[in-house]
Amino acid sequence: MNSHILDGPTGVEICLLDVGHGSSVYIDTGSAKVLIDTGRNGSVLEFLDQKQIDSIDLVIISHADQDHVGGLFAMLSTGVTVHRVIWNTDGLKHTDQWKDLCYQLDDLEADGKVMASDEVAANMDLSGFGDHVSLEVLAPRLRLRRLGVGNVDSSGGRIRSNTVSAVVRVLVNRLPILLVTGDLDDVGLAHLRDPTFPDLRAKYLLLPHHGGKMGASAAVTKAAVKALVDAVKPEGIFVSNGRTATSRGDNPRHEVLEGAVEAAPTATIACSQLSQSCSPGIAKRFTTPAVHAAGWTQGHSCIGSVVLSGDNGITGPLSSTEHQAFLDVSVPGARCRLMKAEVLGRYESDSS
Amino acid sequence: MNLIVSNRERIAIVDDDKAVRDVYAYAIGGDEFEPVDQVGPLGSLDSFLGRHINATAAVSDHKLTQQGNYAQFDGAPLVARWYQKDFPAVLCTTYSVSSADHFRSFRRWIPVVLPPEQLSQETVSEGLGVVRAELAGVFKPERRPRRALVRFVEYVEQNRLVYVKLPGWGTDVVSLRVPDLPSGLRSLVTHVPDFRAYAQVNLATDSPNELYLAEWEFKS
């Protein structure tokens, strides 16, 4: 596994963006700008505008779903320069969008504007994007890539787009800071832990699939989330959910929260947007977020976008004063808190 | 004689029904606004735009051609043209999914659409603030125009609609009225399968109803 190691976090910033239902993580390594996924639509452009960024050195697309790849279209059409794209192939993704992306990136590569021939793969070499930050790609493994989406693995597990999600660990000065998991499902997780989990520990975990299903049933999802969180041992767990997403506005699912809290009862849990199941109504704030958050002005954000930098989140704890105050005042039904109270209460009654 | 000078902003009220204009005037009247009734006939759009209307902003209903000969145009093109002339206005209409198609080609220049029942001094004040901010170049993220790839997926001759997909926005299919497209684009999208073009699109909006496409770029 290739890790590039450095000595100080100066200029290093990791932003987990509120892009609505979808994922996008921005990393400024100090010398390079990287995006892991780009969200569903043009929301990522607002962030790039705010940061006055018109050029991205590397985009990693975890898998072929619109809510991870749509922002790349917006970037390319708007004229944001993208130097290199590492993307997950999915021969069965018979959507027009995917076809558009294949043609667009192929044309751009032929014109020498983008390097886009790399397939995302476990253990690939991602050095050269800065001395302070290293990016470790932990999945998908070779057999999943070669069997391909639509196939069945030797355990009978159906390989789907989500199964082959890239799993990327971000380290700053050797400290594992963030694990980004795309839409990893239970089959992909089983491969990740075969024969044993690699070192997945990270200070923060971005949960898979926006707090949605990881498997066919609630029990499978809960077990998968629990196993993942237990392996990562995070201080903070983030969910990249979207309040207005059709039929998923109530993410994170109950079994996801339960699995996460049971595995890491003291970890903080924060969703980018305010789940409909925590608050049926919107909750407007009149403060300005540190960086663009898609749901902020409409009252859709919960924590919004999260910025990890220097001693706020990387070398020290992440300040959550504003978010906690927001929950205190505006979200009495915050399920992250209720679930924690329930699980901790259960543990206490078990031990007494 | 005492001369009373009002500090209230003068708001033109446009509708083809006098009773509705009165309702709108009543709804927005108060400390902030002084409604200015626009009595018909207003004539053609160009002639009305050249007329001095003694107001610094406006509220217009969409349907202006139902009653008598009040106007030869509707409210959506009027509000859009006003925007292009840096004159702020709010469109007042009931906004349904079907009307979203109708307004889509104008929405780039119509930042605020209010249903009649929501018309008040407060909502008009807030709405005009949004319009004025855009005229000054300050957009809400969900309103900001972005250059976007547009793929035409289907043409339905019967209702003169084309269906498009915008990979930078989402997976939903969006319909456009063929007559609203630039003339050079119409024959291409109705004859060339999978035609691709670029347009200015508010890519950060979540709502299909609020989505606009304008300022087309295409190669014939």
Does residue B3 surpass a pLDDT of 70? Answer: no
Q: What is the mean pLDDT of residues A120-141?
A: 92
What is the Cα–Cα distance from A68 to A46, expressed in whole angstroms?
16
Query: A66 to chain B: which residues are within 8 Å by CB?
Result: 167, 170-171
By a Cβ cutoff of 8 Å, what residues of chain A touch chain B?
20, 40-43, 45-46, 66, 70-71, 73-74, 76-79, 95-97, 100-101, 104, 242, 244, 292, 294, 297-298
**Res A71: pLDDT:** 95
Amino acid identity at B94: T
Rounded alpha-carbon distances, angstroms, from residue B17 to A200, B12, B159: 68, 14, 29
Q: Which of A42, A66, A297 sits opposite B203 (nearest CB)?
A: A42
Mutation target vs B (from A50, A76, A77, A291; most B CBs, 10 A cutoff)? A77
pTM of whole model > 0.95?
no
Please say whether the beta carbons of B55 and B37 come within 8 A.
no
- For A256-273, what is each residue's pLDDT tens digit? 999 999 999 999 999 999
Query: Closest Cα partner for A126 from A138, A142, A109?
Result: A138
In which band, very low, low, confident or very high, does the pLDDT at A8 lie, cut at 50, 70 and 90? very low
Widest distance between CA atoms in chain B: 73
**Res A76: pLDDT:** 93
What is the Cα–Cα distance from B135 to B89, expressed in whole angstroms?
11
Query: Closest Cα partner for B176 from B141, B143, B208, B140?
Result: B208
Residues B191, B196, B198, B204, CA torsion sign: positive
The alpha carbon torsion through A180, A131, A309, A184 (nearest 10 deg) reads 0
- For B159-188, what is each residue's pLDDT tens digit? 899 999 999 998 889 999 999 999 999 999
What is the Cα–Cα distance from A82 to A114, expressed in whole angstroms?
6
Please say whether the beta carbons of A71 and A101 come within 8 A.
no
List domains and CATH numbers for chain B.
9-138 (3.40.50.2300), 143-217 (2.40.50)
In which band, very low, low, confident or very high, does the pLDDT at A87 lie, cut at 50, 70 and 90? very high
What is the Cα–Cα distance from B198 to A77, expressed in whole angstroms?
8
The percent of residues in chain B predicted with pLDDT above 90, rounded, is 79
Amino acid identity at A331: V
Q: Which of A42, A66, A76 sits opposite B204 (nearest CB)?
A: A42
Rounded alpha-carbon distances, angstroms, from residue B123 to B115, B116, B143: 10, 11, 18
In which band, very low, low, confident or very high, does the pLDDT at B96 lie, cut at 50, 70 and 90? low
Which residue has tokens 């009734």?
A: B37
In which band, very low, low, confident or very high, does the pLDDT at A7 lie, cut at 50, 70 and 90? very low
Sequence-distant (≥ 6) Cβ neighbours of residue A330 within 8 angstroms: A279, A283, A285
What is the Cα–Cα distance from A186 to A216, expressed in whole angstroms?
9
Q: Do B204 and A43 touch (CB under 8 A)?
A: yes
Query: B205 to chain A: which residues are within 8 Å by CB?
Result: 41
